[in-house]
Amino acid sequence: MKPLSRRDVLRGMLAGTAVSVGLPPLEAMFNVNGTAYAAGGGLPLRFGLFFWGNGNLPERWTPTGEGTDWTLSEQLEPLAGVKDLITVVSGMSLHTDNVYPHTSGSSGILTGANLLAYEDGRQDGTFEIPSIDQLIAGHIGGDTIYRSLETGAFPGTKGNSFNGPNNKNPPELSPIAFYERIFGSTFREPGEEGVVDPSLALRRSVLDAVMADVEKVNARVGAADRIRLEQHLTGIRELELRLARLAEDPPSLESCMRASEPAAEYPQVEGRHPVSDIHRAMTDLLVMAVACDQTRVFSHWFSDPLTNKLYPGATMGHHSLTHDEPGEQPEVNMITKFIMGEFAYMVEALAAVPEGDESVLDHMVLLATSETSRGQTHSFEEMPIVLAGGACGGLNQGIHYRSHTGENASKVMLSLVRAMGINAPTFGLGAGEVSDGLSAIQA
Amino acid sequence: MRLSWMFMAILVGCGESDKDSAGSGVTLDRSVPEVSLPEPTLRRLTRVQYDNAISALLGGGLVLPSSLDPDQVTDGLRAIGASLTTISPRGVELYEDAAFDLVQQALASPENRAVLVPCDETDDGCGESVIAEFATKAWRRPLEDEELSTLVAIAEQAEDVLDDFDAGLNYALSAVLQSPHFLFRVELGEPDPSGDGRRFTNHEMASRMSFLLWNTIPDDELMRAAAAGELTEDETLRTQLERMVADPRFEDGVRAFFTDMWTLYQLDDMTKDPTVFTHMSPEVGASAREETLLGVVENVVYEDGDYRDLFTTTRTFLDRKLASIYNVRAPVREGFGEAILSDEGVRRGVLGQVSFLALQSHAVNSSATLRGKFVREVLLCQYIPPPPSDVDTSIPEASADAVTLRERVAVHLEDEFCASCHQLVDPIGLGLEQFDGLGHYRTTESGGVIDPTGELDGVAFSDAWGLAGAVSEHDRLPRCLTQTAMAYASGHSVTDGEQDAVEYLDAGFRHHNHSVSFLMTDLVMSVAFRQAGEIE
């Protein structure tokens, strides 16, 4: 059979058939790509989240000195090499309800709202509103192949990237599977042509039929189900757009190239996952996915809230240690420092990718945080927050801002959302809601 | 109302006295409950249901997808989470990938293809008949003409472009597998022709029965019965029910129910420090689950036994790995074999199994609190509130005065504030302290002698053996299983309007010697399973 040319495929798609819908004009859909950049459209802003579970030890975390004149703490010392690129925000609190150890904190920091409550007042592990990564993706995720990417480091990690109630984006936990998803057969390096594959148009026809099915069910169900099906529809539309984009020429970005293939497996060593190796492999892939503008929003779940995984060198699970390790908790301290070292790797990797005269990190913000400060008491005070990157000049770098009044951590989140060019009036709901950002971190 | 009377007739006429396996001669006297049911909602297929449905549709031997949207647990059950969760954007991508990959695998295998495509592809209407049959089975209902023509058009378009019959089929069948009609259980009910209110349709009943009892899609016979209107009539419904319970697939349904209720899926991701537990290896979790499920299946499916016996039986099923943890002789060299535990020891029943003891523990040590909480919440349906967030929940480290866990957690029970909850759970878990964090038997901890005595709601016990007896005789145990079975079958937490239905089923369950298979069939026959709530 004669292979179809790319032109034929596009023509076929546009002409439509019995089961495919007409496409919106291509120009309208793909106005942000390599050509647009070249024409001076400016570099895109990106958002990244690095989340770890079980918090820190505030007395060993908080830097000394404030503003631009400050010294890293013991737990932040692994970030010494990138001190000028980061901003530490200390002394912030969650003003949301602290009902369920760990889960309340996850919702509090990532949404500024309480967990979804049942009619009888009980709350469950689901967020009521989207997590900050999805809030941002809803605004800036629409122009790339992937609206957002979610990854994790520890096997079994579930993440907390919520599109809405009971709707979580599962993180990819296998580096090789993640590699194949992003850099597999459909990936094109700058300069190559888009994917020429007649199956893309056929897959879109299938999705059209599926969408019609969803609409049909939607007409019969109750209000709660309609919300669920709308969310399903959103996902289908996104996949349709993605398939359409694959046929486009890839954006011409100077540092973009196919990432190198990670190891197929990461076996345990003495009952401990080689979490640093997995994390770094994932980071390398994420960094290249961002450099290639495959996505502008990612969330990386280094570990889950409440995780009781065994860290290398630790004698108990992490969560058990935060509660039961006596005294100054040297193992908890060791683990927090280890995590900060892994965060530093991600910051350095993003800073190492040039974009014009600057780096990818300069054109984004990376937020590192956890669901609590001191794990032992599930404290909502002294929340750990580290930012990296300048968001194209929107955010200050190299400072330590300390709140002496336990300000609402949502203020930081609102500043980050606004730094992404999103005109958001507020962040959070109820007691966690704010309408002012944190001016000290805004440039 | 008429429906109620019909049920009464059935109960008196053919049900209770014949089936009175108690042999007590006492007739069960219960009146059909009034129920008020919540709005029906879509249930997403669980991961296991998806896999089972794929095997039923495409045949065995396929490499199943390594990841799909994960199951959500709500109020303790994945069955409830399935009614609340949706399909995430990532899920859409994963289900799409999986559909194409699975259909392609099946069409590439001559064996699977022969079943899927029994006609000659050059024959007129071959493709259409394959698609119609596949979609009807996958969607668990007859297709509308328009639905079939859309699918056929997809196949024709793909066949034209790719010039290949199977490629055409691949696109149409993949569309079927990505549709909400497949991925969700669309069971919304219809007006009840014999009275007020709504009932589930015949095809919805086929689906509900099949997922509950077999954890997969209906088979051809059940679809036939649905098409013939047999699943909304008591007598013919019962005929199908009896067939289903006698079918080997009933074992899958029972396994799925207990796996969900007892959170046995968590055994796949259990963290244990192998430097502390030398018996630990990655296979222990799966072995432990199999031990528990083999015991459950033996009790429920093959012996129609008493649910309470699961907590007191000395019979179990072990492989070499578990035998070494229990320090008994392996019954067989390969796989699992039956073993009888010594009645001189303290280990018996589910509460003496690794699946419970290791899961409700930490990575290096046991946990009296987690174990006690499981007994209260999962076995007795007593909700234990979480600890307040802003307190130091650390357990004091071992000292000369406090060596064992019982001595160390004494603070939980002395402090009035902590004790309000911990007194409900810790004494149960302390009765199990002679099993370490993996489930290995011990009599001392860090040199201190373990005291396993305690009391469960007024019943004193001297060790784990005695605790197992106290749990098995606890008045809440049967009622809790009934309630959980209702929630599992309906996909929602039991509401106020269903309390009478729980009472009704509970009475039958107790009367029938706590037979779980009786409970499940009684449940299917009950109004709570067959009637549908209004859609607002």
Contacts of B171 in chain A (CB under 8 A): 202-203, 205-206
| CB distance B245 to B215 below 8 Å | no
Is it the case that residue A35 has pLDDT exceeding 70? no
Tokens describing residue B496: 């106020």
pLDDT band, very low/low/confident/very high, at A414 (cuts 50, 70, 90): very high
Which pTM value belongs to this model?
0.91
> How is residue B399 annotated by DSSP?
-
Tokens describing residue B388: 């307040």
The complex's ipTM works out to 0.91
Measured distance CA(A70)–CA(A81) in Å, rounded: 15
Domain residue extents for chain B? 1-18+33-40+240-536, 43-185
Is it the case that residue A119 has pLDDT exceeding 90? no
Q: Is A155 on the interface with B (CB under 8 A)?
A: yes
pLDDT band, very low/low/confident/very high, at A117 (cuts 50, 70, 90): confident
Q: End-to-end CA distance of chain B: give it in Å, rounded.
A: 23
Q: Is A337 on the interface with B (CB under 8 A)?
A: no
pLDDT for B226 equals 98
pLDDT for B416 equals 85
| CB distance B234 to B6 below 8 Å | yes
pLDDT for A254 equals 87
Q: Are residues B365 and A316, on separate chains, in Cβ contact within 8 Å?
A: yes
Q: Are residues A4 and B161, on separate chains, in Cβ contact within 8 Å?
A: yes
**Under 8 Å CB-to-CB from B124, ≥6 apart: which residues?**
none
pLDDT for A309 equals 93
pLDDT band, very low/low/confident/very high, at B451 (cuts 50, 70, 90): very high
A-chain residue closest to B392, CA distance = A377
Measured distance CA(B224)–CA(B305) in Å, rounded: 32
Q: Report strand pairing: A149-152 vs A385-388.
A: unpaired
pLDDT for A271 equals 84
- Which of A17, A166, A238 lies nearest to residue B86, judging by beta carbons? A166
Measured distance CA(A251)–CA(B214) in Å, rounded: 50
Nearest CA-CA distance, residue A171 and chain B, Å: 9
Average pLDDT over residues B174-185: 98
Size of interface A-B (CB pairs under 8 A): 209
Q: Are residues B181 and A213, on separate chains, in Cβ contact within 8 Å?
A: yes
pLDDT for B200 equals 98
Mapped onto helix, strand or coil, the DSSP state of residue A93 is strand
Nearest CA-CA distance, residue A232 and chain B, Å: 5
Contacts of B198 in chain A (CB under 8 A): none
B242-269 per-position pLDDT tens digit: 999 999 999 999 999 999 999 999 999 8
Is it the case that residue A39 has pLDDT exceeding 60? no
Q: Are residues A170 and B88, on separate chains, in Cβ contact within 8 Å?
A: yes
Residues found in chain B: 536
**Under 8 Å CB-to-CB from B302, ≥6 apart: which residues?**
none
Location of structure tokens 């309906």:
B490
Q: Are residues A235 and B363, on separate chains, in Cβ contact within 8 Å?
A: no
What type of residue sits at position B185? Answer: R
| CB distance B70 to B47 below 8 Å | yes
Q: Which of B161, B169, B360 to mutate to probe the A interface, most A CBs <10 Å?
A: B161
Q: Is A166 on the interface with B (CB under 8 A)?
A: yes
Q: Are residues B273 and A315, on separate chains, in Cβ contact within 8 Å?
A: yes
- How far, CA to CA in Å, does B54 sit from each of A355, A413, B61, B183, B216? 47, 44, 11, 11, 9
Q: Are residues B363 and A310, on separate chains, in Cβ contact within 8 Å?
A: yes
Tokens describing residue B170: 């691949």
On the CB side of A313, CA atoms within 13 Å amount to 11
Contacts of B274 in chain A (CB under 8 A): 270-271
B12-31 per-position pLDDT tens digit: 333 344 344 445 567 888 88
**Under 8 Å CB-to-CB from A384, ≥6 apart: which residues?**
A55, A56, A58, A61, A368, A369, A370, A373
Nearest CA-CA distance, residue A370 and chain B, Å: 15
pLDDT for B19 equals 42
Q: Are residues A238 and B153, on separate chains, in Cβ contact within 8 Å?
A: no
pLDDT for B25 equals 61
Measured distance CA(B258)–CA(B245) in Å, rounded: 16
pLDDT band, very low/low/confident/very high, at A247 (cuts 50, 70, 90): confident
- Which of B86, B93, B147 lies nearest to residue A228, judging by beta carbons? B86
Q: Is A98 on the interface with B (CB under 8 A)?
A: yes
B55-87 per-position pLDDT tens digit: 999 999 999 999 999 999 999 999 999 999 999
Nearest CA-CA distance, residue B71 and chain A, Å: 10
Average pLDDT over residues A154-162: 95
Measured distance CA(A256)–CA(A354) in Å, rounded: 10
Q: Is A207 on the interface with B (CB under 8 A)?
A: yes
pLDDT for B281 equals 87
Measured distance CA(B477)–CA(B256) in Å, rounded: 20
Q: Which of A2, A225, A243 to mutate to probe the B interface, most B CBs <10 Å?
A: A225
pLDDT for A120 equals 66
Measured distance CA(B526)–CA(B11) in Å, rounded: 11
- How far, CA to CA in Å, does B164 sit from each of A4, A32, A83, A267? 14, 37, 60, 42
- Which of A199, A231, A378 lies nearest to residue B86, judging by beta carbons? A231
Q: Which of B389, B397, B421, B493 to mutate to probe the A interface, most A CBs <10 Å?
A: B389
- How many C-beta atoms surround the C-beta of residue B190 within 10 A? 13
> How is residue A76 annotated by DSSP?
T
Q: Is A264 on the interface with B (CB under 8 A)?
A: no
Is it the case that residue A421 has pLDDT exceeding 70? yes
Measured distance CA(B24)–CA(A367) in Å, rounded: 68
B389-423 per-position pLDDT tens digit: 777 777 888 888 889 999 998 877 888 888 888 99
- How many C-beta atoms surround the C-beta of residue B98 within 10 A? 20
Is it the case that residue A282 has pLDDT exceeding 80? yes
Q: Are residues A168 and B72, on separate chains, in Cβ contact within 8 Å?
A: yes
Contacts of A185 in chain B (CB under 8 A): none
- How far, CA to CA in Å, does B326 sit from each of B285, B435, B519? 15, 10, 33
| CB distance B189 to B37 below 8 Å | no
- Which of B161, B273, B390 lies nearest to residue A378, judging by beta carbons? B390
Contacts of A100 in chain B (CB under 8 A): 386, 389
Of all residues in chain A, what percent carry a pLDDT higher than 90?
79
Contacts of B151 in chain A (CB under 8 A): 209
Measured distance CA(A46)–CA(A288) in Å, rounded: 13
Average pLDDT over residues B173-179: 98
What type of residue sits at position A338? Answer: F
Compute φ and ψ for A100, nearest 5 degrees: -110, 120
- Which of B150, B162, B392 lies nearest to residue A19, judging by beta carbons? B150
Residues found in chain A: 443
Rg over alpha carbons for chain A, rounded to the nearest Å, is 22
Measured distance CA(B257)–CA(B83) in Å, rounded: 16
Is it the case that residue A40 has pLDDT exceeding 70? no
Q: Which of B77, B87, B399 to mutate to probe the A interface, most A CBs <10 Å?
A: B87
Contacts of B174 in chain A (CB under 8 A): 206
| CB distance B148 to B128 below 8 Å | yes
Q: Are residues B88 and A169, on separate chains, in Cβ contact within 8 Å?
A: yes
Listed residue (B534, B514, B535, B508) closest to B7, CA to CA: B508
pLDDT band, very low/low/confident/very high, at A42 (cuts 50, 70, 90): low
Tokens describing residue B526: 């009950």
A-chain residue closest to B386, CA distance = A100
Q: Report strand pairing: A297-301 vs A46-51.
A: parallel
Q: Are residues B363 and A308, on separate chains, in Cβ contact within 8 Å?
A: yes
Listed residue (B181, B486, B522) closest to A218, CA to CA: B181
Where is average pLDDT lowest: A300-309, B274-283, B490-499?
B274-283
Q: Are residues A323 and B393, on separate chains, in Cβ contact within 8 Å?
A: yes
Q: Which of A6, A9, A19, A335 to mutate to probe the B interface, most B CBs <10 Å?
A: A19
Mean pLDDT of chain B: 93
Q: Which residues 341-370 of A are in CB contact (within 8 Å) with B? A: none
